[in-house]
Amino acid sequence: MEILEIQNLTKIYKDGTTALRDISFNVKKGEFAIIIGSSGAGKSTILRSINRLVQPTSGSILFQNKEITTSSKGELRKIRREMGMIFQGFHLIKRVSVLKNVLHGRLGYMNSFKGAIGAFSKEDEEAAWSLLERVGLTDQAYKRAGELSGGQQQRVAIARALAQKPALILADEPIASLDPTTSETIMNYLYQICHEDGITCIVNLHQVEVAKRYATRILGVQQGTIIFDGSATELSDSEIQHIYQKKLVV
């Protein structure tokens, strides 16, 4: 079953940069898809369009059969809360406790005002605790998020995404600022949790070997177009070279 259907997606930024050219692909429920491509290829723009942190120039994105690109503010909130997002820079509120950061995942489900003043319900708090347990951070719950190591912060970010009870997780280079061992831990968490909970996941990466280890499907992006779509075994060395080769601007 398709959870995401992207058709003819194009994004041209205000300054005239064409980041995506007429991209189309579908993602099935339960896939662990990894997008690879050199920096500037358009990977982030794809993920950010799916969450509508950037407004696509044209094309359509169907998430669980709902159109994202034209949804109203209220609809967008409902769509966003079912997509967890994980970033390269963790993007936690550093001054706030780890627990609060996880609870932020519940905001989309709350009364706007209650959420604004941080009046989280007892159930939400319990849920946040069990998520922290899942990522092995209960003993850090009351520390400020900024005091944690990079790997720990990314685990908090994963817990925040899970607090949304998402159907889809979008991870934009989640391990790019971590060392190899920590990177492996994070990828393992992400993979295992998505596998156990049946969450579909799209990850941007630029490490091909890591992508090959985890991906159920790999998408290769170059200069805003998808030039490879297949399994890890189908991704040959020449394909890799092709994806990472800088094409001259015509």
Residues within the interface to another protein (CB under 8 A): 30, 32, 51, 53, 76-85, 87, 89, 91-97, 100, 104-105, 107-110, 112-113, 115-118, 132-139, 141-144, 157, 160-161, 164, 181, 184-185, 188-189, 191-192, 195, 213-214, 216
Q: Which H helix or E strand runs over 36?
A: strand 32-36
Q: Does 55 bind ligand ADP (CB under 6 A)?
A: no
- Residue 38 CB neighbour total at 10 angstroms: 14
Element (H, E) at 84: strand 83-86
Residue tagged 């966003």 (tokens): 80
**Identity of the residue, 66 or 89, whose beta carbon is nearer to another protein in the bound complex:** 89
Reading the block at residue 13, the tokens are 């930024």
Shortest CB 43 distance to Mg ion, Å: 5
Regarding 45 and contact with ligand ADP (CB under 6 A), the answer is: yes
Interface residue with Mg ion among 3, 11, 42, 44 (CB under 5 A) is 44
Does the footprint of Mg ion cover residue 183 (CB under 5 A)? no
Within 10 angstroms of residue 247's Cβ, the number of other Cβ atoms is 9
DSSP, res 248: P
User: Using the rule CB under 6 A, which residue among 44, 153, 164, 183 binds ligand ADP?
Assistant: 44
Q: Which residue's CB atom is positioned nearest to ligand ADP?
A: 44
Residue 90 structure tokens = 């963790």
The H-assigned helical ranges of the chain are 43-50, 73-80, 98-103, 112-116, 122-134, 150-163, 180-197, 208-214, 237-244
Of 39-47, 121-129, 194-202, 209-217, which segment contacts Mg ion by CB under 5 A?
Answer: 39-47
19 binds ligand ADP (CB under 6 A): yes
With residue 41 as reference, give the H or E element that holds it.
none
CB of 190 to ligand ADP, least distance (A): 18
Contact region with ligand ADP (CB under 6 A), list: 35-43, 56-64, 100-108, 144-152: 35-43
How many helices (H) and strands (E) in the chain? 9, 10
Cα angle, residue 126 at apex, residues 133 and 95 outer, rounded to 5°: 75
From Mg ion, ligand ADP, another protein, none, which one binds at residue 134 (CB under 5 to 8 Å depending on kind)? another protein
Note the residues at the interface with ligand ADP (CB under 6 A). Answer: 13, 15, 17, 19, 37, 39-45
